[in-house]
């Protein structure tokens, strides 16, 4: 059923597109057909994936596969680290079962396994066919040339720097608009390995978490393409033919070689994520320590999270989130942008069920599912400096704008999801607030003796919260 809160999400759609148009390098070249088509494609995909029984069952199957993958990974972790992996058999009495969930042993190892499986599927040409299929779809529906379309599709599954590797020989000849689009799309999506990690983090607080995370990364790609084309419109005169042969660095000699190299690549990603989280969380703790020296505001100390919540609360409301949850949701948006989406997902996973509305949690899953953050700026500069060193200065000039496009792309995706009825995702909207029960008057007390003392009778209800 369509409600006022669904119409509220139209504000988020208009805000994301309007802000990019205001900052466009050529506001007269607004891609109207692409704007309408990209939003419609997102809406149709969400309706199909969650509304059609066959596709909904397939998405639920993805969730079961993620659970099985996580359980299988834990078997390997337990073999190496023993009871530290959180196995039921602990050498000591547990006072807090929740403490068994250790991020380093429950989430990061999943990335290792997924990277190894991705390499194996690529060697078997399965993932390559899927990527090429998505590339054809992007080429036909988004008006893209073949090489950028292929790299965009690869980015959805492989990551923001790994995707462009598949067209490395074309990168020097891409137009400025195409290069900007690749970086922006890379920041609007997440890689396949982190999809599983995010689903693992959210599975206890969000039903069908894997379905939502997978859908979020796929449908954010059209949003990233749209906003990138608005900010830096397409320039056909700069599009020149590239080399006749494609170059990919994803070549494996055998299945075993694919597993070994995939594991090595996954280890680099795991170490990078762990190190980034340690540094950024430590920096936030240091800033919070400094802010804690100031007087409390509203009965609570000042913190980075509270400041970000205030700044981004209006944006969270524009996505379709009720105002009661807007400060919490705004804080998550700020954490995602300033820290990393990993940190934001961890914090949302720590919010107990019922503390925020189910609809809020679904919308925020889509809003957080992207690599657009300050750390990714450095990752893209470093990665593209290796892939195409002759365009490093050009990349330095557009990478911050690409981060903004990626951040707004996930907000656009979240707004499209917020526009959908809550019943589509399998949960009912919160019931309307009931009127407060009337306070009993002293004359209604069943005991006549009690009704003679009006001060006692009126004081009791006033003391209740």
Taking only the tens place, the pLDDT of each residue in 415-429 is: 999 998 877 776 555
> How does residue 430 score in pLDDT terms, banded at 50, 70 and 90?
low
Looking from the CA of 156 toward its CB, the CA atoms found within 13 Å total 27
Taking only the tens place, the pLDDT of each residue in 16-27 is: 999 999 999 888
The answer to whether 210 touches 56, Cβ cutoff 8 Å, is no
Residue appearing with tokens 């340690």: 278
> How does residue 364 score in pLDDT terms, banded at 50, 70 and 90?
very high
Q: Around Cβ 183, how many Cβ atoms within 10 Å?
A: 29
pTM above 0.85, yes or no: no
Taking only the tens place, the pLDDT of each residue in 165-216 is: 777 777 888 888 888 999 999 899 887 767 878 888 888 888 888 888 888 8
Q: What percent of the chain has pLDDT over 70?
A: 83
* pLDDT greater than 50 at residue 266: yes
Residue appearing with tokens 């009337």: 438
Cα–Cα distance measured from residue 204 to residue 146, given in angstroms and rounded to the nearest whole number: 41
The answer to whether 189 touches 376, Cβ cutoff 8 Å, is no
> SS3 for the chain, per residue?
CCCHHHHHHHHHHHHHHHHHHHCCCCHHHCCHHHHHHHHHHHHHHHHHHHHCHHHHHHHHHHHHHHHHHHHHHHHHHHHHHHHHHCCCCCCCCCCCHHHHCCHHHHCHHHHHHHHHHHHHHHHCCHHHHHHHHHHHHHHHHCCCCHHHHHHHHHHHHHCCCCHHHHHHHHHHHCCHHHHHHHHHHHHHCCCHHHHHHHHHHHCCCCCCHHHHHHHHHHHHHHHHHHHHHHHCCCCHHHCCCCCCCCCCCCCCCCHHHHHHHHHHHHHHHHHHHHHHHHHHHHHHHHHHHHHCCCCCECCECCCHHHHHHHHHHHHHHHCCCCHHHHHHHHHHHHHHHHCCHHHHHHHHHCCCECCECHHHHHHHHHHHCCCCCHHHHHHHHHHHHHHCHHHHHHHHHHHHHHHHHHHHHHHHHHHHHHHCCHHHHCCCCCCCCCCCCCCCCHHHCCCHHHHCCHHHHHHHHHCCC
Pick the range with the lowest mean pLDDT from 41-55, 58-72, 346-360, 381-395.
58-72
* pLDDT greater than 70 at residue 296: yes
Taking only the tens place, the pLDDT of each residue in 3-59 is: 777 888 999 999 999 999 999 988 888 888 888 988 998 888 888 888 888 877 877
Cα–Cα distance measured from residue 441 to residue 427, given in angstroms and rounded to the nearest whole number: 40
- The pLDDT, as a whole number, for residue 439 is 43
> How does residue 444 score in pLDDT terms, banded at 50, 70 and 90?
very low
* pLDDT greater than 80 at residue 127: no
Q: What is the mean pLDDT of the chain?
A: 79
Taking only the tens place, the pLDDT of each residue in 148-158 is: 887 787 777 77
């Amino acid at each position: 059923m369509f409600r006022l809160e669904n119409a509220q999400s139209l504000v988020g759609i208009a805000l994301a597109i309007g802000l990019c148009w205001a900052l466009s390098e050529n506001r007269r070249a607004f891609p109207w057909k692409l704007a309408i088509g990209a939003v419609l494609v997102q809406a149709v995909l969400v309706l199909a994936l969650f509304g059609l029984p066959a596709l909904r069952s397939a998405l639920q199957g993805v969730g079961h596969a993620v659970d099985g993958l996580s359980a299988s990974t834990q078997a390997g972790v337990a073999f190496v680290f023993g009871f530290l992996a959180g196995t039921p058999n602990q050498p000591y009495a547990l006072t807090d079962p929740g403490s068994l969930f250790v991020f380093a042993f429950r989430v990061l190892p999943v990335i290792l396994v997924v990277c190894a499986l991705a390499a194996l599927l690529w060697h078997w040409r399965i993932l390559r066919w899927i990527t090429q299929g998505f590339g054809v779809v992007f080429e036909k529906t988004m008006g893209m040339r073949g090489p950028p379309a292929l790299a965009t599709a690869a980015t959805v599954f492989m990551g923001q720097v790994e995707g462009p590797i598949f067209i490395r020989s074309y990168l020097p000849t891409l137009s400025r608009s195409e290069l900007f689009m690749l970086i922006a799309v890379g920041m609007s999506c997440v890689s396949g390995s982190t999809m599983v990690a995010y689903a693992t983090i959210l599975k206890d607080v969000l039903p069908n978490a894997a379905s939502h995370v997978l859908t979020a990364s796929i449908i954010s790609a059209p949003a990233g393409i749209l906003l990138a084309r608005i900010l830096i419109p397409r320039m056909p005169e700069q599009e020149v033919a590239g080399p006749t042969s494609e170059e990919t660095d994803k070549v494996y000699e055998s299945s075993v070689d694919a597993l070994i190299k995939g594991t090595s690549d996954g280890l680099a990603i795991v170490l990078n994520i762990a190190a980034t989280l340690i540094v950024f969380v430590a920096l936030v703790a240091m800033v919070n320590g400094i802010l804690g020296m100031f007087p409390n505001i509203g009965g609570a100390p000042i913190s980075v999270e509270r400041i970000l919540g205030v700044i981004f609360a209006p944006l969270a409301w524009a996505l379709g989130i009720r105002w009661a949850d807007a400060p919490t949701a705004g804080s998550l948006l700020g954490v995602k942008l300033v820290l990393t989406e990993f940190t934001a997902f961890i914090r949302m996973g720590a919010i107990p069920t019922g503390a925020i509305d189910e609809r809020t949690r679904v919308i925020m899953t889509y809003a957080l599912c992207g690599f657009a953050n300050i750390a990714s700026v450095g990752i893209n500069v470093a990665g593209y400096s290796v892939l195409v060193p002759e365009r490093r200065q050009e990349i330095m000039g557009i990478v911050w704008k690409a981060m903004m496009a990626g951040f707004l792309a996930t907000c656009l995706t979240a707004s499209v999801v917020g526009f959908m009825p809550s019943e589509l995702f399998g949960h009912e909207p919160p019931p309307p607030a009931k009127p407060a029960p009337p306070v009993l008057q002293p004359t209604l007390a069943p005991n006549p003796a009690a009704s003679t003392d009006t001060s006692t009778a009126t004081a009791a209800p006033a003391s209740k919260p």
